[in-house]
A and B are shown apart, each in its own frame.
Chain A
Amino acid sequence: MSARKFRPNETVDFVVVGSGAAGGVMARELSQAGFEVLVLEQGPRFTAADFRHDELDYWFNGALTNKLDTNPQTFRKTSAEKAERVTEFPAAWYAPNVGGSSVHFTANFWRFHEVDFDERSRLGAIPGTTFADWPITYDELEPYYTKVEWEVGVSGLAGASPFDPWRSKPYPMPPLPVKSSGVLLERGARKMGWHPYPAPMAIASVPYRDRAACAHCGFCIGFGCEMQAKSSTLYTMIPEAEATGRCEVRPLSYVSRIETNAAGRATGVAYFDKDKRERFQKARAVVVCANGAETARLLLMSANAQFPDGLANSSGYVGKNLMFNTYAQINALFEHELNEFKSAQVTRVVHDWYDSDPQRGFYGGGGIDSRIGPMPIAWSMFAPPPGRTWGAGFKSLLEALPRAMIVAGHGTSLPLATNRIDLDPELKDAWGLPALRMTYKDHPDDLAMARYLQDRGVESMQAAGALEVWKDPVAESTGGPHLLGTARMGNDPSTSVVDKHHRSHDIRNLFVCDGSSFVTSGRGQPTMTIQALAFRAGDHIARFAKRGEI
């Protein structure tokens, strides 16, 4: 069956906005359930043969990431400041193309734990934050985590981490071969009495469902995978959706607003086509999967007389509670060669600090993993400590790169109503739409957790016998690729945007599912959970549609 092509005036069952980690899954689930689905993607569609090993273009020229000249963004720390136009890396950093950020992600794919979903009940309120329980439990999501592992394709070793949540099925593929960075982290962590385990990765370690196994070229983070071994929705969910004959993925289609009628129902979406002509697509229901920044922006841009504060925003929560996952990094040099430019980035993870511990004196949880950061240019730009950024000292560091690795700390970000995405009041994009404005200032506990994890990273490398170890400064966030929390799920319509099935509280046929649905941040690496949510939402939405409940 070949991909469906809808006629211009046709009304589709579902229009899905965004074709990334969530949108790809949604398209597959709804089309396989028998519905006609049109996916609108703002960016182009690449094929495996388009991807190149060009670090300059991919990392420093935005080959795959959002373009700040046509899609500008502004940033400020607090609402007291005027947001300034972002000039280097985007504040909300993502890949606008078919497959979304699942094309260029690192592919770290561990599950959230039970505690991530009910931590507010376990720990109590945290003053000044919107810390809350999710409306679903780990047990409710577990079948969908398993579905991600098998349908999308995740490699890993079940039961390897003593801290892992329960699972109903093992991984479908063994873990990727360990790299020297993984061996050293494991060596150091075991000496410290911790429990390193093989990293779960959305990368095929063996041939899987007509996709090739990883050839260990090393160009994962920030790059597209020319082997099709990285389990991007571009290679997995999207072709399977199209194979139903009921799904069309329309690239270069930039959605500008969701329209509603007098009855308060969504009627479809307005979008700009590749020639910047405005089009309207009629749909029986709209599912927004545009990522944790653009989803909020679209809901806000869709404000009309009936919904003056934006769609699905009676709570005022659209765009609020933005979270990134706190992050810290340390660098280490060893005696012998690691050659970290080879193979997938991460092969060992330590989650001994996953749960928050009041004895630390602050809220937070997280882990550390072994990696390199990421390829030669970026490492040479960002890793050298002060005093070794140029000259003979710098050159000797460059020559040490084969012996270098990084330990990355990844952890919680608290939800704060003041951290948010909204519309810049002045700046417009190349289509005349309001630019995305981000306001973000880390909670002090998030920075404390980052430093705590960084210290554990130092200990692990010292225990592993590193010759040199140095910390990158833990700095306040100015944006990131993990875009979470801006249209949170919840049972109470006054403090959440969508219900536990991702249906907006305010508009019956408007659904939202992506990183924006998160209530808390987890401990990093959100895509696995984004996709589990999308499988679950797709399941429920299809059932509602079949019962005439949309």
Chain B
Amino acid sequence: MDSTGTSRRKFLQASGGSLGLAWLAAAWPQVVAAAEHAHAMAAADAADRSKFLLLTPAQARDVDAIASQIVPSGATPGAHEAGVVYFIDQVHAGLWKENGQDFVAGLTDFQAKCAKHHPGVAQFADLSFDDQTAYLKHIEHTPFFGGMRFLTVLGLLALPSYGGNAGKLGWKLVGFVDQHAWQPPFGHYDAEYAGFVPYAKAAEQQS
């Protein structure tokens, strides 16, 4: 994670080459402040993942299990390690709290149907991984599952301050790096680009 000093240096490296000196002297503090502010929330991960605000422990277990089916753990971290369940809990207790009761109702309905489908199993999270997958295939076109997919993606990739993306594991998974300035080359292919050849010139070269 960048300290402010490190990110300031990176910013200088990234944009220094293209900035006029006079402009730099005049506007530098404001621009650095704005650019750093834009990323301040990303850098801060003050989310509390020690308790649930809305979900019961049993509900949280099933939410975590469903999210872990959508983005499984394995050789690399998945939804579980990224704390997606904490995002889903916190967003329904805060930012989107007006949806909280609907979400819990949908989850309760999901749990009831799952129990009916698998009598004798206490809850979805107690099924084997493969049985969980099979059950979700059976309901993957329901609004509840669509919503869970959306929430899992958000919990994986939204700012850590929303409760998920713990340790920025979601961003690491997709190769996103939260730095507020970059300089070319940005990737493999532009690094080897020779420059734009105008069409008239290209024709001359061919002839």
Contact = CB atoms under 8 A, between A and B. Distances in A.
A334 B188 CA distance: 10
B76 interface: yes
B38 A217 contact: yes
A51 B36 CA distance: 11
Interface string B170-205: 110111111111111111111011001011000000
B157 interface: yes
A48 interface: yes
Contact of A377 (B157, B183, B192): B157
A336 interface: yes
B47 interface: no
Given A55-B158, A380-B157, A402-B174, A183 B27 contact: no
Interface string A325-367: 0000000001011111111000000000000000000000000
B69 A390 contact: yes
B127 to A, nearest CB: 15
A217 B180 CA distance: 5
Nearest to A389: B149
A343 B186 contact: yes
A61 B158 CA distance: 12
Given A226-B34, A336-B188, A216 B70 contact: no
A180 B37 contact: no
Interface stretch (B18-26, B51-59, B101-109, B117-125): B18-26
Contacts of B37: 49, 52, 226
A212 B41 contact: no
B133 interface: yes
Nearest to A341: B176
A205 B14 CA distance: 13
Interface string B138-169: 00100000000110111011110010000000
B14 A216 contact: yes
Contacts of A195: 199
Contacts of B4: none
Contact of A179 (B74, B186, B196): B186
A380 B153 contact: yes
B190 A182 contact: yes
A401 B175 contact: yes
B157 A179 contact: no
A392 interface: yes
Contacts of B153: 377, 380-381
A180 B174 contact: no
B157 A337 contact: no
A54 B190 contact: no
A215 B35 contact: yes
Contacts of B41: 52-54
Given A216-B14, A401-B174, A177 B190 contact: yes
B174 A210 contact: no
A129 to B, nearest CB: 35
B154 A177 contact: no
Contact of B31 (A56, A228, A341): A228
Contacts of B83: none
A342 B19 contact: no
Interface string A130-171: 000000000000000000000000000101101000000000
Contact of B187 (A51, A60, A180, A197): A180
Contacts of B184: 177-178, 216, 343
Given A179-B187, A338-B188, A342-B182, A160 B174 contact: no
A394 B71 contact: yes
B189 A336 contact: yes
A184 interface: yes
Given A216-B182, A394-B71, A56 B187 contact: no
B35 A227 contact: yes
A219 B175 contact: no
B191 to A, nearest CB: 8
A342 B188 CA distance: 13
Contacts of A493: none
A159 B198 contact: yes
B180 A207 contact: no
B31 A395 contact: no
A212 B27 contact: yes
A245 interface: no
Interface string A25-66: 000000000000000000000001101111110001100000
B39 A179 contact: no
B100 interface: no
B71 A398 contact: yes
A373 to B, nearest CB: 13
A290 to B, nearest CB: 29
Nearest to A52: B38
Contacts of A182: 190
Contacts of B20: 206-207
A399 B173 contact: yes
B34 A49 contact: yes
Interface in A369-412: 376-377, 380-381, 389-392, 394-395, 398-399, 401-402
B182 A343 contact: yes
Contacts of B19: 207, 212-213
A215 B180 contact: yes
Interface string B2-17: 0000000001001100
B158 A212 contact: no
Contact of B15 (A61, A215, A228, A398): A215
A427 B154 CA distance: 32
Contacts of A187: 189
7 contacts: A49-B37, A61-B95, A175-B196, A177-B190, A339-B187, A394-B71, A395-B78
Closest 4 CB pairs of A and B: A402-B175, A336-B188, A180-B187, A180-B189
Given A55-B157, A183-B192, 16 more contacts: A53-B178, A54-B159, A56-B154, A179-B186, A215-B11, A217-B38, A336-B187, A337-B188, A338-B187, A342-B187, A390-B69, A395-B74, A395-B76, A398-B156, A401-B174, A402-B187
Interface of B: 11, 14-15, 18-20, 23, 26-27, 30-31, 33-35, 37-39, 41-42, 69-72, 74, 76, 78, 95, 133, 136, 140, 149-150, 152-154, 156-159, 162, 170-171, 173-190, 192-193, 196, 198-199
